Each structure stands twice: as C-alpha cells, then as structure tokens.
Structure 1
Amino acid sequence: MKNTLKTNIGEIVAEDYRTSQVFKNHNIDFCCRGNRSIQEVAEKNNLDAEQLLKEVTEILNQTKADTIDYKSWPLDLLADYIEKKHHRYVEKQIPVLKQYLDKLAHTHGTNHPELFEIREHFYKSADELTKHLKKEELVVFPAVRKMVAASQNSVLLDKFHFGTIQNPIQVMMQEHDNEGERFRQIDGLSNNYTPPADGCTTYRVTFSLLKEFENDLHNHIHLENNILFPKAAELEKQLGDPR
C-alpha cells in the first residue's frame, strides 16, 4: 500500500504495526480515531504533515523484523487471539489496579486530590469494559466465527438476530471511543503517568500499571477497529443475503 497524506492512519498501522510508534510519539490516537488521514491528524496536532509522512515512511523502509502480520490471519483466529490475550489481560488487571488505586488515594489523596478523579475514571472504565467484553464474546465474535464457517463450507449464512454485523460493530466502536476518551482523561490527570516528586514506590508501580493497561487497550482496539471489524463487514458482503 502506497501511503500518502490522505491515507488513514488506522490502515497504515494495520499494514505494519511498527508505524504505531510514530503516532504514539506524537500522542496521536491510531486505534479509536484511526479513520483520520495523516493530513488531518497533522493539522489537529499542529504538526508538519510531510514530516509525519516521512517518519512513517522511514519506519516502513527499515528491514522488517519478525512482527506479527495480524491482517493476514483468518478472522476466527484473530477473534480467538483478542479474547484469549486482551480480554483475559483486562479481566486479570482490573482487580489489581483497583487495589492499587484505592491504596494510593487513601495514602496520597490529601496532597494529590487528582488521584480520586483517576480512581473514579478507572472504576467507570472497569465496569464498562467488563460489560463490553461480554458483548464481544457473546455476540460479535460468535457471529464472526459463523461467517468464517459459512465461507469455508460454501453454505448460506443464517440471518443474525441483530441484522447486519455492522449493527453490533457500531456499538462496539462507540464504546471503544468512550473508553479511549476516559483514558485520555486519566493520562492528563496523571501527567502522562508521571509520578510526582513525593511519589512512593506504590505510586510508581500504579502509574506504570495504568500506562501498561492503556497501551494494551490501544492495541486491543486497534486490532478490532482497524482489522477485525472492517474485514468482518467485508466478509458479510461477500457471503450475500442470509437465508
């Protein structure tokens, strides 16, 4: 794919995940807001669009390491991977982070009241993400697997109770946007996860875990918004009208 100033950044990262580092360096959201062109994000962030494209091109011109080409994976395999890697990570880390944030707010909240806001944002995110993952596991991913099976076996697809796959996908993408915005709030309140001068070891560990959680969420959303969902919608078109 030839990248230009009009190429969507989500497509660029989907082609080669190494380019995500360019957008991370400039604090550009390539997962929830991956449907914007290089020109658009450059203007939004007061950057030189040609320079941004040059940085992307330089990454692509480097010898490609053994990076995983998720775009080439069968859709059912990608859905399985997201569920087993990213969903399990979220489920495992939520109680850990809640415990750390409770302790941090109790110990340092008087001098750093922003900790209460950070904790509140995370608790809301944890609640919404827990429900979001179940929707994907019970609705979206089973639908993707059914479409793949129909394609492999050359049979007509049974009609989904929710209509077209685009319906739950749109809901999932909106919820992705909501959580992306929530973590932008957390990022700002924590000064990009930078502990204050009087921050203890627990402070540093908590912020490090929060940053790791956000990074995993970005990767998770990228795989869905920029690869799984568009390819699922395209597969549905290829299968034609359901019976």
Structure 2
Amino acid sequence: MEINNQSIIGDIVAENYKTASVFKKHKIDFCCNGNRTIADASRKRQLNEEELINELQGAVAQNAQGDIDFKTFPLDLLADYIEKTHHRYVDSKIAEITPFVQRIASVHGDNHPELLEVERLFQESAGDLSAHLRKEELMLFPYIRQLVKAQMSGGNRPVTKMGDAKDYIALMEDDHSVEGDRFRTISDLTDNYNPPADACNTYRVTLSLLQEFEEDLHRHIHLENNILFPKAIELTESIAE
C-alpha cells in the first residue's frame, strides 16, 4: 500500500483500518472529512508530512492477517453488516447510555456544568441518529440491495421514492457531519473523556460508554462515507435507467 502526501485520508483508512488510530492520535477526522489529502490534513494540523506518512506506513506494516477487508464485500453484504452491527449497536447503546448521562448531569451538574451540555448534546444525537438510521434502513439500504440484484440480472436501475440517489446520499453524509461535530464537542467538554478527580464510578462509566460510542460511530461512518456510499453511486451510474 503506497502512501504519499496526495493520498486521500478516507481511501487510506478504507484500505487499512489500522491507520485510523494514527489519524485519531493527531485529531484528523477520517470519517466525516475523509476526502482530504495527507498534505491538506498535515497543513491544517501543523504536522510534518513525512513523519505522518511514516506513522501510517508503520500501522500498515503491523496489519494482522485476519483483519476484515470491507472493500471486498459485495455492496448488499456490506449494507447488511453495517445494519446488523453498527445500527443495532447505536439503538442498544442509546437506551443504555441515556440514563447514565441524565444521572451524572443531575448529580454532578453543579460542580461540572459542562455535563448539562453533554446531556443536551447526547439527547439531540440520540433523536437525530435514530431518525437517520431508519432513513437508511427503509430507503437507502433497500435501494442498494435492489441495485445489486439489477447488476446480477442485467436489469434496469431500480425506481426509488428517495429521488436522486446521489443527492440522498449527500443528505446522509450531511447527517454524519453533524454527528461528528457533536461528538467532537462532547469529547472537548469532557477533556477527551478523562474523569475529574471527584468523579464517582457512575461518572467514570458514563465517560467510558460515551467514548466507546464515539469510536463505534467513527467506524460506522467510515464504512458508509468511504466505502458503501461511493460504490453505491458508482453502481447506480453504471446501470441504465
């Protein structure tokens, strides 16, 4: 895998997810803003390009033999994987985390007023993400499955109620950007999920759950923005109406 200063961040992570840890270390957004080059990201974060490339190549060299290459997945299988793995995770974790966030905001909000903002942001995210997942599951993912069937059978492009597929995907990517910004703010408010000295066990558990949720969201958005969506657009354009 060749990496240079003109390599696209999203493509690098799509090729090898182990590079994501390097981008996270340097606070480079690879999921919602993965269309930038190494040069662009290095300039914005004031990083040395050569050192960043060396770190990325080191991560690639450590790649385990058993890692999953999602780029090789058929589109319908990838959509199924995302729905069954990441969508169900979001649904279950929202239900689990919500009472924790409410609890620490109520108990510790006087001494840590930032927790009130964390609670508000998470509640907004919970509502918006739930609606977003249903849009994908009821509109976009069924369309992708129909696309694959049309490709295999030599049929025409499927008709869909969501309008232009490229425009609809752009709306999904906009939703992803909103969530990326929200959780970046939550991370900043909580000092990157580091509990203060007076934090009780519930406080600490809540921050761990929020951090885990954000990390899964990054993987989730990466799979859609950098692999599923571009391939769905490419397949759409290759099938006649």
Query: TM-score range with shorter-chain normalisation?
Result: over 0.9
Q: TM-score, normalised by structure 1?
A: 0.96
- In 1, the alpha carbon distance for the partners of 2:86 and 2:61 equals 30
Partner of 1:79: 79
1:93-172 alignment, distance < 5 Å: 93-172=93-172
The Cα shift of 1:2 comes to: 2.6
- In 2, the alpha carbon distance for the partners of 1:160 and 1:207 equals 41
Partner of 1:224: 224
Partner of 1:187: 187
The Cα shift of 1:165 comes to: 1.4
Query: Partner amino acid for 1:148?
Result: V
Gaps of 5+ in 2: none
Query: Partner amino acid for 2:143?
Result: A
Q: Answer yes or no: is the 8 Å Cα contact 2:114–2:189 preserved in 1.
A: yes
Equivalent residue of 1:213, what SS?
A: helix
Partner of 2:6: 6
Query: Partner amino acid for 1:82?
Result: I
Query: Partner amino acid for 2:54?
Result: K
Deviations, residues 131-179 of structure 1 (Å, cap 9, x unaligned):
0000000111011000000001111123323333102100000000000
Query: Partner amino acid for 2:3?
Result: N
Query: Partner amino acid for 1:110?
Result: D
- In 2, the alpha carbon distance for the partners of 1:3 and 1:213 equals 29
Residues 16 and 169 of structure 1: CA distance in aligned 2, closer, same or farther (over 3 Å): same
- In 1, the alpha carbon distance for the partners of 2:187 and 2:63 equals 33
Percent identity at matched positions?
49
The Cα shift of 1:66 comes to: 1.0
- In 1, the alpha carbon distance for the partners of 2:236 and 2:78 equals 16
Q: Give the count of matched residue pairs.
A: 241
- In 1, the alpha carbon distance for the partners of 2:133 and 2:3 equals 33
Query: Partner amino acid for 1:12?
Result: I
Equivalent residue of 1:44, what SS?
A: helix
The Cα shift of 1:106 comes to: 1.2
1:55-94 alignment, distance < 5 Å: 55-62=55-62, 64-94=64-94
1:201-220 alignment, distance < 5 Å: 201-220=201-220
Q: Answer yes or no: is the 8 Å Cα contact 2:143–2:158 preserved in 1.
A: no
- In 2, the alpha carbon distance for the partners of 1:54 and 1:225 equals 25
- In 1, the alpha carbon distance for the partners of 2:14 and 2:74 equals 14
- In 2, the alpha carbon distance for the partners of 1:159 and 1:123 equals 35
Q: TM-score, normalised by structure 2?
A: 0.97
- In 2, the alpha carbon distance for the partners of 1:209 and 1:133 equals 20
Gaps of 5+ in 1: none
The Cα shift of 1:210 comes to: 0.1
- In 1, the alpha carbon distance for the partners of 2:173 and 2:194 equals 29
1:44-55 alignment, distance < 5 Å: 44-55=44-55
The Cα shift of 1:63 comes to: 5.1
Query: Partner amino acid for 2:2?
Result: K
Partner of 1:30: 30
